[in-house]
């Protein structure tokens, strides 16, 4: 390939990569295998002297650009060198060469017309990072558009390119924008040659809008002056069309219905950020890339970690998830039924196994029965410890006469004196027990529980009336 012109000593011209009204980009090669991208600005500089206004402005802007690379950033192209070409006296900026397609190519066939939600959020995060990095050192890009953002195939990052407009003076920038700028991505104030940090924010919003909807909000029909003026006027006065309607219209036919439904669920926080970026007045947008990046990060984190219902989320997301969970539950129930296993759906019922059968009772009743049994057992144990007439004395201390009516009748073989003595002892015991706080029904109920004997309410002293004091040694527990 023959050289069209010499860029500068040691920098070989390998042909044009892209040409336009705001300058041309050439592929260059220095000594060895190092490949670079060289941006040539359209306005020539005849003398490399500070007395030349154009050269002075160029030098000042290049010094600003060098600040961008004082701290490396993976989403901003590296500025390597700058100078004046040997032939033609065109100012140039030498930048890192990024191998890969730009966004404009990625939105054309054979690629899809729109990006997936996942890829949109990835690009939004990385491009906002690039703007924040530039704005921290007071560098305004001024020409953010889809073919100035490249996908680096070696790193997987999106990289912001072409700071050529930043290196122009205000007069050069105003003329270049009006006649050759990418009018579809330009903020309303750029029609007057003005450029703020909010100007880059507006162009950022246009790029996200294009990725979501498949086209810019105000497309340019042709490159004639009338069409360009119509687009700029639309940016200044017309309302931005509904991006979700465009997305629905541009859904790829190759996608399944399920994927189409999923890809229509663009997060509301992302749409809100795009809407704010595209405000007509600069003061209504994010003030700079730093504020934009903070809003993007905080909105995405808040949407994930929020414990409250957020009305900004699409209601259809919740409905779809509810339907999915219901279908999953039905699937497992049918699968378990086919295997002969009954799935218990009511968490308030507890199965109690009796023999080979399961009796289902409610959980509150089951817990109540357990608490009642523990309470009765404890109550009986405490009373048996405190009262001399407790369970232990009744069963094992045979010297104490039983309180049952059988023991109070005199046996036929006892003398009268013994019978009289027993009667007095029983009377004395009855008198001492009159103040007892334990009814015989309660005491016998506790004994019945401890011995495993079923209590009969019709005979409260069933246990004591059926056992003689002399027979307690034969009892087994």
pLDDT tens string 31-74: 667 788 888 877 777 777 777 777 777 777 777 778 888 888 99
- Mean pLDDT score, 228-254: 94
- Pairwise CA distance, residues 163 & 77, whole Å: 9
In this predicted structure, what is the pLDDT of residue 325? 76
Regarding whether 413 and 295 lie in a shared domain, the answer is: no
- Pairwise CA distance, residues 53 & 50, whole Å: 7
Give pTM, 2 decimals: 0.59
Nearest to 79 by CA among 163, 159, 22: 163
Nearest to 208 by CA among 126, 101, 303: 126
Regarding whether 263 and 157 lie in a shared domain, the answer is: yes
* Per-residue pLDDT tens over the stretch 387-426: 545 544 555 555 445 454 444 444 445 555 555 555 554 5
Considering the domain boundaries, does residue 349 fall inside one?
A: no
Regarding whether 308 and 421 lie in a shared domain, the answer is: no
Considering the domain boundaries, does residue 317 fall inside one?
A: no
pLDDT-derived band of residue 3, with 50, 70 and 90 as boundaries?
Answer: very low
- Pairwise CA distance, residues 132 & 292, whole Å: 8
Which region among 92-101, 298-307, 319-328, 453-462 has the lowest average model confidence (pLDDT)? 453-462
**Residues contacting 367, CB < 8 A, separation 6+:** none
Percent pLDDT > 70 in the chain is 62
pLDDT-derived band of residue 167, with 50, 70 and 90 as boundaries?
Answer: very low
| Average pLDDT in the chain | 74
83, 8 in Cβ contact below 8 A? yes
Look up residue 69 and give its DSSP letter.
T
Percent pLDDT > 90 in the chain is 32
- Pairwise CA distance, residues 204 & 188, whole Å: 14
Q: Which residue has the higher pLDDT, 207 or 51?
A: 207
Task: Identify the domain boundary among 250, 282, 312.
Answer: 312
- Pairwise CA distance, residues 100 & 153, whole Å: 5
- Mean pLDDT score, 172-189: 71
In this predicted structure, what is the pLDDT of residue 460? 45
* Per-residue pLDDT tens over the stretch 267-290: 999 999 999 999 999 999 999 999
111, 164 in Cβ contact below 8 A? no
Facing residues of 354 across strands?
Answer: 357
Regarding whether 364 and 288 lie in a shared domain, the answer is: no
- Mean pLDDT score, 94-123: 92
Considering the domain boundaries, does residue 421 fall inside one?
A: yes
Regarding whether 425 and 299 lie in a shared domain, the answer is: no
Among 47-51, 425-429, 438-442, the range with the most confident prediction by mean pLDDT is: 47-51
Residue 467 has pLDDT above 70, yes or no: no
Regarding whether 306 and 403 lie in a shared domain, the answer is: no
**Residues contacting 215, CB < 8 A, separation 6+:** 113, 246, 250
389, 440 in Cβ contact below 8 A? no
131, 141 in Cβ contact below 8 A? yes
Nearest to 292 by CA among 274, 316, 308, 305: 274
Look up residue 283 and give its DSSP letter.
G
Considering the domain boundaries, does residue 24 fall inside one?
A: yes
In this predicted structure, what is the pLDDT of residue 418? 54
**Residues contacting 20, CB < 8 A, separation 6+:** 180
In this predicted structure, what is the pLDDT of residue 420? 54
In this predicted structure, what is the pLDDT of residue 466? 44
* Per-residue pLDDT tens over the stretch 304-346: 766 444 454 455 666 666 777 777 777 777 777 776 654 444 5
Regarding whether 431 and 369 lie in a shared domain, the answer is: yes
- Mean pLDDT score, 351-380: 67
Residue 398 vs residues 404, 426, 475: alpha-carbon distances, Å? 13, 14, 13
Considering the domain boundaries, does residue 6 fall inside one?
A: no
| Alpha carbons within 13 A on the beta-carbon side of 117 | 15
Task: Identify the domain boundary among 285, 312, 339.
Answer: 312
Which region among 37-46, 148-157, 347-356 has the lowest average model confidence (pLDDT)? 347-356
Regarding whether 387 and 254 lie in a shared domain, the answer is: no
Task: Identify the domain boundary among 284, 312, 340.
Answer: 312
Considering the domain boundaries, does residue 34 fall inside one?
A: yes
Residue 123 has pLDDT above 60, yes or no: yes
Regarding whether 260 and 137 lie in a shared domain, the answer is: yes
Regarding whether 55 and 161 lie in a shared domain, the answer is: yes
Considering the domain boundaries, does residue 224 fall inside one?
A: yes
Q: Which residue has the higher pLDDT, 430 or 13?
A: 13
**Residues contacting 345, CB < 8 A, separation 6+:** 333
**Residues contacting 38, CB < 8 A, separation 6+:** 7, 11, 13, 25, 26, 27, 28, 92, 93, 94, 95
- Pairwise CA distance, residues 269 & 196, whole Å: 25
- Pairwise CA distance, residues 3 & 26, whole Å: 11
Regarding whether 370 and 304 lie in a shared domain, the answer is: no
Work out how many domains the chain is built from and give that number: 2
Regarding whether 381 and 441 lie in a shared domain, the answer is: yes
Considering the domain boundaries, does residue 337 fall inside one?
A: no
Residue 474 vs residues 92, 124, 242, 389, 450: alpha-carbon distances, Å? 115, 89, 94, 20, 17
Nearest to 147 by CA among 13, 235, 18: 18
Domain residue limits at 424: 357-474
CATH of the domain at 217: 1.10.510.10
């Amino acid at each position: 390939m023959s050289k069209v012109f010499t860029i500068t000593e040691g920098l070989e011209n390998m042909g044009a990569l892209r040409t336009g009204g705001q300058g041309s980009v050439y592929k260059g090669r220095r000594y060895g295998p190092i490949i670079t991208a060289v941006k040539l600005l359209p306005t020539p500089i005849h003398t490399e002297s500070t007395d030349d206004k154009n050269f002075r402005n160029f030098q000042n802007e290049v010094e600003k650009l060098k600040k961008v690379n004082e701290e490396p950033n993976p989403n901003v192209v590296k500025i390597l060198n700058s100078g004046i070409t040997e032939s033609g006296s065109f100012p140039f900026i030498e930048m890192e060469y990024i191998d890969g397609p730009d966004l404009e190519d990625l939105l054309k066939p054979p690629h899809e017309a729109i990006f997936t939600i996942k890829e949109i959020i990835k690009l939004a995060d990385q491009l906002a990072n690039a703007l924040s990095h530039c704005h921290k050192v007071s560098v305004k890009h001024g020409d953010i558009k889809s073919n100035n953002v490249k996908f680096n195939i070696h790193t997987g990052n999106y990289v912001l390119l072409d700071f050529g407009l930043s290196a122009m003076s205000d007069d050069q920038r105003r003329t270049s924008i009006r006649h050759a700028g990418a009018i579809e991505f330009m903020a309303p104030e750029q029609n007057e040659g003005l450029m703020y940090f909010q100007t880059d924010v507006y162009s950022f919003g246009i790029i996200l809008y294009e990725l979501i909807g498949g086209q810019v909000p105000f497309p340019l029909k042709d490159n004639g002056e009338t069409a360009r003026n119509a687009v700029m006027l639309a940016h200044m006065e017309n309302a931005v069309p509904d991006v979700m309607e465009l997305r629905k219209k541009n859904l790829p036919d190759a996608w399944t219905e399920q994927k189409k439904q999923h890809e229509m669920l663009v997060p509301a926080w992302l749409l809100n950020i795009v809407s704010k970026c595209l405000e007509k007045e600069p003061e209504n947008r994010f003030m700079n890339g730093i504020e934009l990046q903070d809003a993007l990060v905080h909105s995405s984190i808040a949407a994930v970690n929020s414990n409250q219902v957020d009305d900004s989320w699409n209601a259809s997301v919740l409905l779809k998830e509810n339907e999915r969970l219901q279908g999953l539950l039905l699937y497992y129930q049918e699968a378990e039924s086919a295997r002969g296993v009954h799935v218990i759906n009511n968490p308030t019922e507890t199965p109690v196994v009796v023999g080979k059968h399961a009796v289902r009772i409610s959980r509150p009743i089951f817990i109540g029965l357990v608490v009642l049994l523990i309470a009765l057992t404890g109550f009986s144990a405490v009373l048996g410890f405190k009262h001399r007439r407790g369970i232990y004395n009744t069963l094992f201390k045979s010297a104490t006469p039983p309180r049952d009516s059988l023991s109070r009748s005199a046996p036929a073989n006892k003398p009268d004196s013994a019978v009289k003595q027993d009667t007095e002892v029983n009377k004395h015991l009855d008198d001492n027990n009159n103040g007892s706080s334990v009814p015989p029904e309660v005491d016998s109920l506790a004994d019945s529980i401890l011995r495993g004997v079923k209590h009969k309410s019709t005979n409260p002293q069933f246990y004591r009336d059926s056992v003689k004091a002399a027979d307690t040694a034969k009892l087994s527990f």
